[in-house]
Copies of this chain bind each other. A is one copy, B any other.
Amino acid sequence: MENKRPLILVSNDDGVSAKGISEFIKFLRPLGDIVVMAPDSPRSGSGCAITVPVPVHYQLVRQEVGLTIYKCSGTPADCVKLALHTILDCTPDLVVAGINHGDNSGTSVHYSGTMGVAIEGCLKGIPSVGFSLCDHGANANFEPLKDFVRKIVTDVLREGLPPLVCLNVNFPNIPNFKGAKICEQAKGLWKKEWEPCPRLNDQNYFWLTGEFVNMDEENEQNDGWALANGYVAVTPILVDMTAYHYMDHLKQLLRV
Contact = CB atoms under 8 A, between A and B. Distances in A.
Given A47-B49, A49-B47, A193-B81, A86 B182 contact: no
Interface in A164-221: 164-165, 167, 179-182, 184-185, 187, 189-190, 193-194, 197, 199, 202, 204-208
A110 interface: yes
A206 B253 CA distance: 45
- Chain B CB count within 10 A is highest, among A110, A182, A187, A251, for A110
Contacts of A167: 250
B111 A253 contact: no
Given A124-B189, A243-B236, A82 B45 contact: no
Interface stretch (A27-35, A50-58, A90-98): A50-58
A238 B247 contact: no
Interface of A: 42, 44-53, 55-59, 74-75, 77-78, 81-82, 85-86, 107, 109-111, 116, 119, 123-125, 151-152, 155-156, 159, 162, 164-165, 167, 179-182, 184-185, 187, 189-190, 193-194, 197, 199, 202, 204-208, 234-247, 249-251, 253-254, 256
Contact of A47 (B50, B181, B190): B50
Q: Copies of this chain, how many?
A: 2
Given A206-B55, A246-B162, A111 B49 contact: yes
B194 A85 contact: yes
Contacts of A45: 49-52
Contacts of A194: 56, 81-82, 85-86
A182 B237 contact: no
A123 B42 CA distance: 25
- In the complex, the 5 A-B pairs of residues with the closest C-beta atoms, listed nearest first: A236-B243, A238-B243, A49-B49, A47-B48, A45-B50
Contacts of A82: 194, 206
A246 B167 CA distance: 11
Nearest to A240: B185
Nearest to A13: B52
A42 to B, nearest CB: 7
B57 A240 contact: no
Contact of A50 (B107, B111, B240): B111
